[in-house]
Amino acid sequence: MLDDLLHPARTAGPAPRDEDPEPRTLTERAYRALRHDIVCGRLQPGQRLRVEHLKDDYDVGAGTLREALALLVSDALVTVESQRGYRVSAISLDDLRDLTDTRVRLETEALRQSIRLGDARWEATVREAFARLSDAEAGGAARDPRQWEYANRRFHEALISGHVSPWTRHLLDILYRHGERYRHVAIRLGATPGFDRDVHAEHEAICQAALARQEARAALALEAHIRLTCDMLVRHARDSRERDTVAPPASHEGQPAVP
């Protein structure tokens, strides 16, 4: 055991979950399909996940589906209760604030470390990822959302790739997926109107500051970028409460509403 501790070259920490373009196993295929449906909202927060039904929907056996669900439990996208089975994890503003704060702390520090330690290869990786993201964003409203999401994820990964920390990458991978889920919630709720947002300009500002080795400026730009989904949903919830408060009470049958 002491020998293991004294050999830092050996692999330790969580193994990276690099994804091939196509899943290589049935478990991986079911895991990705379920994850996509949870993140995009097809499977609703709190929804019960019955293995006997889902195995037909996802065209896999019960054992394979349970393996996929176990991976989603480790991602905190699914919860499991003794004798009650699996459910899609709930969402809340408190959860969103917590994951946003945690992601900001981890990702901005990883970016700062990458700016300090990143070499020419890191710079080339960031430039290439930004170019691919720019191509994905060029389509505007007509862009392929899955292609954009993939390019966006790769850009964020490139930014912090100069900071070699398996635990940071593992935790940010989970937090990114949850942030993606809340972005879809914001879109479905119609929380985005009223925010004059140029996402491409945000990415460009982060990229330029990072490559210029301006770590404070880059970290601030990244933090503002990450926090916008939380800001949108918090404001949407506040505005909805205000509308409910000022709305006139419903009239009872045969009686007019009080003006």
The domain ranges of the chain are 26-88, 93-237
As a whole number of angstroms, the distance between CA 55 and CA 113 comes to 44
CB 122 within 8 A of CB 162: yes
Q: What is the pLDDT of residue 6?
A: 58
**Three-class DSSP category at 138:** coil
User: How do residues 64-112 score in pLDDT, each as one tens digit?
Assistant: 999 999 999 999 999 998 877 999 999 999 999 999 999 999 999 999 9
26-88 maps to CATH 3.40.50.300: no
Name 144's Cβ contacts closer than 8 Å, sequence gap at least 6: 136
Percentage of the chain lying above the pLDDT 90 cut: 64
**Three-class DSSP category at 80:** strand
Q: What is the pLDDT of residue 258?
A: 30
Q: Give CA separation, 150 vs 132, 136, 155, 256, in Å.
A: 10, 9, 9, 54
Q: Give CA separation, 60 vs 22, 52, 67, 189, in Å.
A: 17, 10, 11, 32
CATH architecture for segment(s) 93-237: Up-down Bundle (1.20)
More confident residue, 196 or 174: 174
Q: What is the pLDDT of residue 133?
A: 95
Q: What is the pLDDT of residue 259?
A: 31
**H-assigned helices in the chain:** 2-5, 26-40, 51-57, 62-74, 93-117, 120-137, 145-159, 166-189, 199-211, 215-246
pTM of the prediction?
0.83
Query: At 140, is the pLDDT very low, low, confident or very high (cuts 50, 70, 90)?
Result: low
